[in-house]
Structure 1
Amino acid sequence: MKGRNMTRWRDPAKDPRQEKKSNLITPQGYARLKGIHDHLSRVRRPEISAKVGEAAALGDRSENADYTYNKKELNRVIARIRYLGKRLDELQVVDRLPADTGRVYFGAFVTLEDEDGEEMRIRIVGHDETDTSKRWISVDAPLARALLGKALDDDVTVAAPGGETTYVITDIDYREPQ
């Protein structure tokens, strides 16, 4: 049976989408998600609902592109609001520094040096606030898992697509949560 609703079967044990996400988040990340949720709920949803109402008032909905587009957009916004509402309830805000700031834990800014002497500065954050342009990686990422609990000048070996890479931790920094 073929159809648009058919999907490829994936082994649940090997499917990365089935991996459990950590529920940790920084206060800044939580505030950003809360702001997005509030904006969608208070501003975007009423705007789109009004557009759907105006388009529906024009008459025949079967050939009304404005109605169809705005209805799909409204459903997408409602789904996003629902997801964010559930996710915000699950999250645990980490709003204090660890007792031992000489080791790598959640929220740390870590400077790594590879075998070629090139430095890379990353931050370990929650799944919902990862940003590759800022080099913020998820606490669930293989590199972050390898770094957790390590101290200054420790060697860390991580399996990468191009083979194993070894890094040396050259700096660990925590900024006071605001």
Structure 2
Amino acid sequence: MSRAFTKEQDDAPIDIAERPISPHRNLVTPEGLKQIESEIATLQEQLHKANDEEDRETIARVARDLRYWTARRETAEVSVPDADSDVVRFGMTVTIENEDGKAQTWKIVGEDEADAAHGKISHVSPMAVALFGKGVGDIITVNDKEWEITAIG
């Protein structure tokens, strides 16, 4: 009989690939650390519930995510910028303007915190890398577009 018509064993392992961990330093803002810790707490609750229900697929997925977030917590480096800095650093909010007068404001955060739709970019993004160490009035070029730094906070 073809294996396609045989019943899978209930104890067969579920193969869920690990979440890749970035090779970059795991810089986080204080808010980012809270997000990681909240994610871990939520996943621990989900794992407990899935174990109670003996939901093997959920257990595998949640356990994988819990391993990822635990590793991220273990390597997290909280970084708070010096409030008196006159150059762009991790954790700062930067406003830039292009030659057409279009302004954009970004907060430079950790990779797991990044959310461009909400104005947060990863510290390893091309824009953040171009901004680091620059001050108000400096010009940066990203993707063949020039931007002037108009504010740092």
Q: Does the TM-score normalized on the shorter chain lie above 0.5?
A: yes
**Residues 126-167 of structure 1: CA distance to partner in whole angstroms, max 9, x if unpaired?**
1110012112000000110000000001001112xxxx0100
SS in 2 for 1:127: coil
TM-score between the two structures when normalised by the length of structure 2:
0.82
Partner of residue 85 from structure 1, selected from 70, 78, 89: 70
Show the 5 A alignment for 1:25-36.
25-36=28-39
TM-score, normalization: structure 1? 0.71
1:152-167 to structure 2, matched below 5 A, reads 152-159=136-143, 164-167=144-147
2:109–2:120: 8 Å Cα contact kept in structure 1? yes
**Size of the alignment, in residue pairs?**
134
Residues 22 and 139, structure 1, Cα contact 8 Å, conserved in 2: no
8 Å Cα contact 2:81/2:89 also seen in 1? no
1:54-133 equivalences under 5 Å are 70-94=55-79, 96-98=80-82, 100-133=84-117
Query: Identity rate of aligned residues, in percent?
Result: 32
Q: How does 1:132-143 map to 2 (within 5 A)?
A: 132-143=116-127
For structure 2, the residue ranges without an aligned partner over 5 or more in a row are: 1-19
Partner residue, 1:12: none
* Deviation larger for 32-41 or 98-107: 98-107
Q: What is the Cα-based RMSD across aligned positions, in Å?
A: 1.7
Cα distance in 2 for partners of 1:79, 1:30 equals: 19
Where does residue 4 of structure 2 map in the other structure? none
Q: CA deviation at 1:20?
A: 2.6
Distance of 1:170 and 1:117 partners within structure 2: 11
Tell me what 1:66 maps to.
none
- The superposition leaves residues 68-94 of structure 1 with CA deviations (integer Å, 9 ceiling, x where unpaired) of xx3111100011111111111011011
SS of the residue corresponding to residue 40 of structure 2 reads: helix
- Could you tell which deviates more after superposition, 98-107 or 132-141? 98-107
Partner residue in 2 for 1:150: 134
- The one of 39, 43, 60 equivalent to 2:42 is 39
Q: Who is 2:51 aligned against?
A: 49
Q: Aligned equivalents of 1:28 and 1:18: distance in 2? A: 20
**Partner Cα distance (2:121, 2:46) in 1:** 29
Provide the rounded CA distance (Å) in 2 between the counterparts of 1:158 and 1:97. 23
Residue identity in the other structure for 2:68: Y
Structure 1: tracts of 5 or more residues without a match: 1-16, 53-69, 174-178
Distance across 2 between alignment mates of 1:46 and 1:19: 28
